[in-house]
Amino acid sequence: GNSVTQMEGPVTLSEEAFLTINCTYTATGYPSLFWYVQYPGEGLQLLLKATKADDKGSNKGFEATYRKETTSFHLEKGSVQVSDSAVYFCALSAYYGNNRLAFGKGNQVVVIP
C-alpha cells in the first residue's frame, strides 16, 4: 500500500539556518505529494504540493522537488525564522480513487532565536 517515511526525531536549529526534512514514499502509480504544516493548537495547513515527477512545489520560502527516481520529496528552506517553528508532515495522495492522504509521522521543528 501507499506509505510515507519521514526522518526520525525533532529538528532544532538557529534562526537563519538552512532546514532540510527528508521524506520518502512508497506508492503505486503516480501519486501527488504534499507538505502540510501544523502550528500549535491548530489544524493542518497546506504548505506546498507537486503532482508529477520533477515538479517543484514552493511557498513562503519552502521548496520540495518530486523525485521519482529516488521516491523522495524533501522539504528545504534556506533561512528559517522563529515563526517557522511547527510540525511538518509529508503526505501523498493516490492518483486514482478517493484521493485519501497517507501521512508520515511528522517532524517537530524548533527554531531558536
Partner 1 sequence: DTGVSQDPRHKITKRGQNVTFRCDPISEHNRLYWYRQTLGQGPEFLTYFQNEAQLEKSRLLSDRFSAERPKGSFSTLEIQRTEQGDSAMYLCASSLSGRDTQYFGPGTRLTVL
Q: Which residues bind partner 1 (CB under 8 A)?
A: 4, 32, 34, 36, 42-46, 49, 51, 89, 91, 93, 98-106
Q: Which is nearer to partner 1, 18 or 96 (CB)?
A: 96
Least distance from partner 1 to the Cβ atom of residue 77, Å: 20
Contact 48, 66 (CB under 8 A): no
Strands (DSSP E) found in 1-113: 3-6, 11-14, 19-21, 23-26, 32-38, 44-50, 56-59, 62-65, 75-77, 86-93, 101-103, 107-112
How big is the chain, counted in residues? Answer: 113
Least distance from partner 1 to the Cβ atom of residue 36, Å: 8
The grid coordinates listed for 9 are 526525531
Q: Which is nearer to partner 1, 68 or 105 (CB)?
A: 105
Least distance from partner 1 to the Cβ atom of residue 84, Å: 19
Q: Which is nearer to partner 1, 14 or 26 (CB)?
A: 26
Q: Hey, how many other C-beta atoms are within 10 angstroms of the C-beta on 91?
A: 25
Q: Which is nearer to partner 1, 18 or 39 (CB)?
A: 39
